[in-house]
C-alpha cells in the first residue's frame, strides 16, 4: 500500500507542506494513543473551565490542544495557530510559511461513552507582511486553503485529507506507525437515502429546513417518493466520514435561538476543512445561502450554518430555499 508521503508527493505538495502535515499527524498519533487509554490514563471527564465558545472543556480537549500547539510551535513551519480551544491566535515562528487552524478534539462529549471523536484541521499560506499575533491573517475564505483533513479516532485511526488533488483516506498501521492509503480518490455517491441532523432542534430551524426534513420523513408517500434513514453520531468527524464513505447529507442549519450565532459549527475549524474534503470528493457544501468556502471570515471563531454531502441531495435541500 502507498504511504502518505508518496501520495502527497504524487499530488504535487511542496516539501515544507509535507513536513508540516507529518508534524501535525505526529501530534494526532499521540492523541490517538491518549484516547485509546481512556480511563486507564485518567484523561476522561471535564475540567472546571470553559473555552471561548462557552463550552465546558473536557480533559482530553485540553490535552489534545496542548499536544498540537506544542508540536506545531516547535516545527518552524507555522507562523500562527488558531484553535477552537484558544481565545486568541497563538503566534509561533515569525518566518513560518503556514497558518494552521484546528478543532483538537471534535465530539469530545463522546469520550465518556467510547464513541467516535476526531481532530479537524486546515492549512493556509501565512501573509508574510503580517505579525504572527495578528488574527487578521486568518480572515481568508476557505478557497485559500492548501490542505485540510481530519483524523478519526475510531476502531481504527483514519485520516481523510486533501491537498487540492482529490480526497484520500488513510489508515494508521500501528505496527510501524505510518498512515497507509486505503481509499484513494474517494467519490461521494451523488444520490442518497440517508440524512444527519440534530432533530431535537427542529423547533428552532428556518422554514426551508423544516419543510425539507418534513418531506424526507414523509417517505414514499411524500414528494421525495422514497424512504430515508436518519443517522446522527454527535461528532462531525463521524458523520462526515460516513458521508465520504457511502453518501448522505449532513445539516447543522441556522436556528433562531441566538441571532449572533447563525450556526453551531465554526467556519475555520469545522465547516471550511470539511467543505474542502467534500468538494474534492465530488460533493457540495453550502450555508444555505452560498458556498461555504467563499464565506469571508470576520473573526476567527465565526460560526456558519452547514449543509454538506451528496451533490443531488444538497441541491434538493437548497431548492427549498428558492
Q: What is the mean pLDDT of residues 205-228?
A: 96
Q: Are residues 10 and 146 in the same domain?
A: yes
Share of the chain above pLDDT 70, in %: 95
Q: Are residues 198 and 179 in the same domain?
A: no
Lowest mean pLDDT among 87-96, 106-115, 178-187, 225-234: 106-115
Domain limit, last residue, from 183, 217, 251? 183
Q: Are residues 154 and 222 in the same domain?
A: no
Q: Are residues 151 and 200 in the same domain?
A: no
Tally of domains in the chain? 2
Domain limit, last residue, from 126, 158, 183? 183
Q: Are residues 241 and 169 in the same domain?
A: no
Q: Bridge-partner residues for 98, per DSSP? A: 78, 125
Domain, as residue range, for 130:
4-183
Spatial neighbors of 290 by CB under 8 A, at least 6 apart, are none
Q: Is 181 annotated as a binding residue?
A: no
All three cell numbers of 304, joined, read: 456558519
Q: Is 109 annotated as a binding residue?
A: yes
Domain limit, last residue, from 126, 161, 183? 183
Q: Is 107 annotated as a binding residue?
A: yes
pLDDT of residue 86: 94
Q: Is 270 annotated as a binding residue?
A: yes
Within a domain: residue 254? yes
Q: Are residues 205 and 261 in the same domain?
A: yes
Q: Is 299 annotated as a binding residue?
A: no
Within a domain: residue 35? yes
Q: Are residues 198 and 139 in the same domain?
A: no
Q: Could you tell me which residue, 138 or 54, shows the higher pLDDT?
A: 138
Q: Which residue has the cell 474542502?
A: 276
The model's pTM is: 0.95
Q: Are residues 152 and 238 in the same domain?
A: no
Q: Is 50 annotated as a binding residue?
A: no
Pairing of strands 117-125, 145-153: antiparallel
Within a domain: residue 189? no
Lowest mean pLDDT among 7-11, 33-37, 295-299, 305-309: 33-37
Within a domain: residue 82? yes
Within a domain: residue 261? yes
All three cell numbers of 199, joined, read: 432533530
Q: Are residues 138 and 201 in the same domain?
A: no
Residue 191's alpha-carbon distances to 167, 282, 309, in angstroms, are 19, 11, 9
Within a domain: residue 54? yes
Pairing of strands 167-173, 157-162: antiparallel
In CATH, what number is assigned to the domain containing residue 277? 3.40.190.80
Residue pair 89/138 in contact (Cβ under 8 Å)? The answer is yes
Q: Are residues 134 and 218 in the same domain?
A: no
Q: Bridge-partner residues for 223, per DSSP? A: none
Residue pair 245/186 in contact (Cβ under 8 Å)? The answer is yes
Residue pair 75/20 in contact (Cβ under 8 Å)? The answer is yes
- Report the distance separating Cα 24 and Cα 34, nearest Å: 16
Number of Cβ within 10 Å of residue 71's Cβ equals: 17
Within a domain: residue 273? yes
- Report the distance separating Cα 320 and Cα 228, nearest Å: 17
Average of per-residue pLDDT values in the chain: 93
Within a domain: residue 231? yes
In CATH, what number is assigned to the domain containing residue 56? 3.30.540.10
Q: Is pLDDT of 126 > 80?
A: yes
Q: Are residues 112 and 231 in the same domain?
A: no
Where does 192-271 have alpha helices with state H?
A: 207-217, 236-246
Q: Is pLDDT of 54 > 70?
A: no
Amino acid at each position: 500500500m502507498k504511504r502518505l508521503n508518496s501520495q502527497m508527493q504524487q499530488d504535487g505538495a511542496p516539501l515544507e507542506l509535507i513536513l508540516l502535515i507529518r508534524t501535525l499527524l505526529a501530534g494526532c498519533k499521540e492523541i490517538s494513543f491518549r484516547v485509546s487509554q481512556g480511563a486507564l490514563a485518567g484523561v476522561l471527564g471535564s475540567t472546571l473551565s470553559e473555552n471561548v465558545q462557552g463550552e465546558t472543556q473536557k480533559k482530553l480537549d485540553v490535552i489534545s490542544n496542548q499536544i498540537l500547539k506544542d508540536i506545531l510551535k516547535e516545527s518552524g513551519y507555522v507562523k500562527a495557530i488558531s484553535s477552537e480551544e484558544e481565545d486568541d491566535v497563538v503566534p509561533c515562528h515569525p518566518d513560518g510559511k503556514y497558518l494552521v487552524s484546528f478543532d483538537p478534539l471534535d465530539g469530545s462529549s463522546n469520550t465518556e461513552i467510547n464513541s467516535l471523536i476526531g481532530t479537524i484541521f486546515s492549512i493556509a499560506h501565512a501573509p508574510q507582511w503580517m505579525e504572527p499575533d495578528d488574527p487578521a491573517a486568518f480572515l481568508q475564505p476557505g478557497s485559500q486553503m492548501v490542505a485540510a483533513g481530519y483524523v478519526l479516532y475510531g476502531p481504527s485511526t483514519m485520516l481523510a485529507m486533501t491537498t487540492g488533488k482529490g480526497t484520500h483516506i488513510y489508515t494508521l498501521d500501528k505496527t510501524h506507525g505510518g498512515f497507509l492509503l486505503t481509499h484513494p480518490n474517494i467519490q461521494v455517491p451523488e444520490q442518497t437515502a440517508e440524512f444527519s441532523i440534530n432533530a431535537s432542534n427542529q423547533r428552532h430551524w428556518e422554514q426551508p429546513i423544516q419543510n425539507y426534513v418534513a418531506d424526507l420523513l414523509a417517505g414514499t408517500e411524500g414528494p421525495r417518493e422514497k424512504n430515508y434513514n436518519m443517522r446522527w453520531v454527535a461528532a462531525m468527524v463521524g458523520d462526515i466520514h460516513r458521508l465520504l464513505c457511502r453518501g448522505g447529507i449532513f445539516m447543522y442549519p441556522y436556528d433562531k435561538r441566538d441571532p449572533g450565532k447563525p450556526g453551531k459549527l465554526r467556519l475555520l475549524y469545522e465547516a471550511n476543512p470539511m467543505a474542502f474534503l467534500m468538494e474534492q470528493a465530488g460533493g457540495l457544501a453550502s450555508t444555505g445561502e452560498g458556498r461555504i468556502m467563499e464565506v469571508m471570515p470576520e473573526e476567527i471563531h465565526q460560526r456558519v450554518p452547514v449543509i454538506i454531502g451528496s451533490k443531488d441531495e444538497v441541491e434538493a435541500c437548497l431548492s427549498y430555499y428558492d
